[in-house]
Amino acid sequence: MQNIQVDLMTALPELIVLLMAMLILLTGLFAKNKIIIYGLAQFTLFAAAFFTVGTHTSAVGYAFSGMFVDDTLADVLKLMILLGTSVMFVYTRQYMQLRNMFRGEYYALVLFAVLGMMIMVSGQSMLTIYMGLELLSLCLYSLVALDRDNAQSSEAAMKYFVLGALASGMLLYGMSMIYGITGSLNLNEITNTLLQGAPNHTVLILGLVFIVAGLAFKFGAVPFQMWVPDVYQGAPTSITLLISSVPKFAAFAITIRLLAQGLGQLAGDWQEMLLIMAVMSIAIGNITAIAQTNLKRMLAYSTISHVGFLLFGLMSGSLNGYASSMFYISAYVLMTLSGFGMILLLSRKGFEAENLDDLKGLNQRSPWAAMLMLITMFSMAGVPPTIGFYAKFTVLQAALQAGYIGAVVFAVLMAVIGAFYYLRIVKLMYFDAPQDNVAISAPNDMKLILSFNAFALLALGIMPQMLMNICGAAIARSLQ
Amino acid sequence: MLLTHVLSVSIWLPILAGVVTLLIGSDNKAYFTRWLALASSLAAFFATLPLYTKYNFAKGAFQFEEAAQWIPSFNINYHLGVDGIAVPLILLTSFTTLIVVIAAWEVITKNIAQYMAAFLIMSGLMIGVFSALDGILYYVFWEAMLIPMFLVIGIWGGENRVYATIKFFLYTLLGSLLMLVAFIYLFQKTGSFDVINFYQLPLTLNEQIFIFMAFFMAFAVKIPMWPVHTWLPDAHVEAPTGGSVVLAAIMLKLGGYSFLRFAMPIAPDAAHYLSGFMVTLSLIAIVYIALVALVQKDMKKLIAYSSISHMGFVTLGFFIFSQLGIEGAIVQMISHGFISAAMFLCVGVLYERMHSRQIADYGGVVNTMPVFAAFAVLFAMANSGLPGTSGFVGEFMVILAAVKFNFWVAFLAATTLIFGAAYTLWMVKRVFYGEVANHHVAELKDINKREFLILALLAAMVLGVGVYPKLITDFTHVSAAQWLSHMAISKLPVAGL
């Protein structure tokens, strides 16, 4: 009895999200005014965040027979996921209302996806990780298809589902091989077994290849990036915002758990795989983005290149490197929230604002919005004094420390190419004349949060130390 | 507080003033916005004056130092300090910003607040570059400065502004990012980003060459040296007058200054090793680019090429490693700051009236604008190196130093006195003298009080430095000597230690 209580207390934030998601699903059926659901969803996120912080200790706690872990890394990432989702709800409210998608399912599905992410973040057994991942993925597949009469969305959802299922299969296959060799699903036990000497290195590596492929798919790293542009473009912008932002925290968490924690002994092998993927992601992401005319698709390729930079930190295989990756991903999520938030701000009923040309002359229509987007774009390009610069700086520093000078110089040259398409956005907003002059209408809370969001990129760029400390501490305490 | 934090105040006052201007200024309140910007730039100028009055000329070390922790994870500090090389450049920066604000008075009519804010913010950032003693702090200022300049050229520029401004940004970014890699490499070696630690770090010749080349990519683009100069004529031609002035007067100097502050003292053996290469590039800039300037039809393009040619003297002065050469190069930087600013302003005065920069559209301007023509001829003379103007002093010092180094180098460099006079005076002849070319020129009105004021200020500086160069050499003397003594010590690891 005692044991169950400890287990449930450890997973308290997850339980809150689970119960509230079910409640919202029910309420959605009966509530006349759907704003109640919105309020409930926001309340859920804040309650879960509150208990995540409230139950935080610097020690590592296990639950459910060691399948679930509650450490600093998990708490920090959960907090970021919850806050990110909350911001996303603010940005998407009006967009969903105008498109008749402001329904209970939307909030319930997102909350289930959040639950999936939280389980992934806390997964200490390969099975837990896989369960969380599937919960997240299934919710995302259906969210992409939420606008069910839209052919493009349905196509995107189909692609996402088929490729996603394949990737999940690969991940599971890899896990089963590791299980077969080590005889355990628990990451700590796998580490211990590997420390005693791997029984069969070849099978182990084969399993590792499948796991890395599965992870790379979830990140959208080259050569598993094919789904990213289509899904980003096809999904309703609010869902694109979701897919491109917080799930990356969860993907980062399971990569750390699986590769660094569980298979840390094989670092020499997966570092090489990550290096190839990182270099290719940066190259293909940045070069292909130049040719895009659709803003969402361009940001999709930009995401691929950001993932490449993120892998730079991971592949350096040091605590410092993992912390730099975590810093990168936090910066990335802030930037992507702001970027897609701007598309949502500019869209209106019957108008998606998803083409590059829709940004033309934004400085004349709304100098404030243009400035927010300017900060976001320079941050994505990695120009100081924005957080995007420190994100690139920290991962490059970690990679240089690990001795990858050639790869770093290559990444830097690619970043110059990347700067071009971000500059093109600035050019459209500032140097061109506006094409349409419809006033921008958005709820005040969204304008306020979006402003905070964009200025956070600048403020954290001037004072990055706090976020660096948080990431450093989370990694250090969890991976000691 | 003000005196112990002179540098911080000089950096942040214009930046904050720029932000305030951006927030509360607007085209509806044009009058108010302009006065706000003028007051800000005046205050910012006075804030830099203590650097002149309180400077200890006998001291070679860094002065007005400030240090505070910034990002302890990477041992990055907010470390500022200036020596005699940086102080004149900082004063030049705040002075030029003041000039630019006045010059924009009636010229800029759209997005006034954004224009003024861009220049105020840029001014603070450039002073930051001149005073940062921490690699990352320096890098942040260096890169951040690109954003306002990118917008200035892109928003208020001419026909082909988008091409020019993106080229400007990407060229500079490419060089800068390689410099960042070099900084991170040095950080791995020393455990901090402090320049003074970098100075003392022993490095093998190969390492030094790689580091030097990474810095070279960043600074050579900025100066700009042949063959990475092609962004400059484009950027100058398309930029609004204020943008051209700041580009020519200050941004180019950032490259020169950074060679002295970073590339050469961090990798002194590589600097000696590659000096032949650098001198060659400088001579190509001086001679070849001067010939290119000769055939230009566009006034702004001509002055842009003339800038590249004159900056060749700066790098030449650095890489012959003599006291006279260094001091001459610094005087040349300051002098070119005044002269190029003045020349671009003169073109701006004509462009506002005629909306043409083509030499062929003018002729006989002296008949309708006598006062203006007097100024323009003075600046043209200074540009071609007439004794008594600042343009003569720097070039003469560098040529003298070069004679001691190698006669033929000096000989080639000295040809600029002919070519420089040729392209500048030929342009003056075609624009100002001769018959009145057309009815547009006949209808020209002479300069107004505002234009007179800025040109007179610049003329005073050009003549002042020309007659009394001690104004600048007082600053540079001790610092340059100390710099040379540092450069003389090899940083190669000694075998057997």
The model's pLDDT over A30-56, given as tens digits with 9 standing for 90+, comes to 888 888 889 999 999 999 999 988 888
Q: Are B437 and B362 in contact (CB under 8 A)?
A: yes
Confidence at residue A308, expressed as pLDDT on a 0 to 100 scale: 92
CB contact under 8 A, A423 and B150: yes
Distance (Å) from the alpha carbon of A165 to chain B's nearest alpha carbon: 40
Confidence at B50, pLDDT banded by 50, 70, 90: confident
Q: Which residue of B has its CA nearest to A411?
A: B177
d(CA A19, CA A17): 6
Q: Confirm or reject contact between B216 and chain A (CB < 8 A).
A: no
Least confident piece of the model among A370-374, B224-228, B325-329, B361-365: B361-365
Q: Confirm or reject contact between A403 and chain B (CB < 8 A).
A: no
CB contact under 8 A, A400 and B114: no
Mean pLDDT of B357-365: 81
CA angle (B44, B46, B47) in 5-degree steps: 60
- Does B80 score more than 60 pLDDT? yes
Contacts of B111 in chain A (CB under 8 A): 363
Whole-structure pTM value: 0.91
Q: Are B202 and B489 in contact (CB under 8 A)?
A: no
Confidence at B497, pLDDT banded by 50, 70, 90: very low
CB contact under 8 A, B150 and A468: no
Confidence at A130, pLDDT banded by 50, 70, 90: very high
CB contact under 8 A, A389 and B140: yes
Confidence at residue A283, expressed as pLDDT on a 0 to 100 scale: 92
Distance (Å) from the alpha carbon of B154 to chain A's nearest alpha carbon: 6
Confidence at residue A2, expressed as pLDDT on a 0 to 100 scale: 62
Confidence at residue B465, expressed as pLDDT on a 0 to 100 scale: 86
Distance (Å) from the alpha carbon of A398 to chain B's nearest alpha carbon: 10
Q: Point out which residues pair with A62 in neighbouring strands.
A: A69
d(CA B292, CA B290): 5
Distance (Å) from the alpha carbon of A378 to chain B's nearest alpha carbon: 8
Which spans in A11-103 are helix H?
12-30, 35-54, 72-98
Q: Point out which residues pair with B259 in neighbouring strands.
A: none
Q: φ, ψ for residue B132 (rounded to 5)? A: -75, 135
Q: Confirm or reject contact between B161 and chain A (CB < 8 A).
A: yes
Q: Are B307 and B235 in contact (CB under 8 A)?
A: no
Confidence at residue B3, expressed as pLDDT on a 0 to 100 scale: 66
Q: Are A254 and A77 in contact (CB under 8 A)?
A: no
Q: Which helix (H) or strand (E) holds A9?
A: helix A2-10
pLDDT, tens digit, 9 for 90 and up, residues A61-80: 888 888 888 888 999 999 99
Q: Are B41 and B95 in contact (CB under 8 A)?
A: no
Least confident piece of the model among A164-178, A453-467, B61-75, B127-141: B61-75
* DSSP assignment letter at B29: G
Q: What is the rounded average pLDDT for all residues in chain A? A: 89
Q: Considering only CA atoms, give the Rg of chain B.
A: 22
CA angle (A465, A466, A467) in 5-degree steps: 95
Least confident piece of the model among A243-257, B6-20, B113-127, B434-448: B434-448
Q: What is the rounded average pLDDT for all residues in chain B? A: 86
Confidence at residue A387, expressed as pLDDT on a 0 to 100 scale: 92
- Does B233 score more than 90 pLDDT? no
Confidence at A128, pLDDT banded by 50, 70, 90: very high
Mean pLDDT of B151-170: 86
Q: Point out which residues pair with B194 in neighbouring strands.
A: B134
Distance (Å) from the alpha carbon of A312 to chain B's nearest alpha carbon: 14
d(CA A261, CA A271): 14
Confidence at residue A20, expressed as pLDDT on a 0 to 100 scale: 92
Confidence at B241, pLDDT banded by 50, 70, 90: confident
pLDDT, tens digit, 9 for 90 and up, residues A10-25: 888 899 999 999 999 8
CB contact under 8 A, B71 and A468: yes
Mean pLDDT of B95-100: 90
d(CA A246, CA A253): 11
Confidence at residue B1, expressed as pLDDT on a 0 to 100 scale: 55
Question: How many inter-chain contacts (A to B, CB under 8 Å) are there?
Answer: 85
Mean pLDDT of B65-73: 85
Relative to beta strand B76-82, strand A61-63 is unpaired
pLDDT, tens digit, 9 for 90 and up, residues A273-289: 899 999 999 999 999 99
Confidence at A224, pLDDT banded by 50, 70, 90: confident
- Does B496 score more than 60 pLDDT? no
Q: Are A318 and A333 in contact (CB under 8 A)?
A: no
Confidence at residue B141, expressed as pLDDT on a 0 to 100 scale: 92
Confidence at B202, pLDDT banded by 50, 70, 90: confident
Mean pLDDT of B150-159: 85
Written as six digits, the tokens of B485 are 């003594």
Q: Are B452 and B372 in contact (CB under 8 A)?
A: no
Q: φ, ψ for residue A61 (rounded to 5)? A: -115, 140
**Which residues 6+ apart lie within 8 Å of B361 measured at CB?**
B354, B437, B438, B440
d(CA A189, CA B270): 53
CB contact under 8 A, B73 and A419: no
Q: Which of B73, B140, B185 sits opposite A384 (nearest CB)?
A: B140
ipTM of the complex: 0.88
Q: Which of B72, B73, B177 sits opposite A416 (nearest CB)?
A: B177
Confidence at residue B412, expressed as pLDDT on a 0 to 100 scale: 86
Q: How far is CA A441 from the centre of its chain?
A: 28
Please name which of A478, A245, A402 lies closest in space to residue B188, comparing C-alpha atoms: A402
Count of CA atoms in the C-beta half-sphere (13 A) of B149:
32
Contacts of A420 in chain B (CB under 8 A): 166, 170
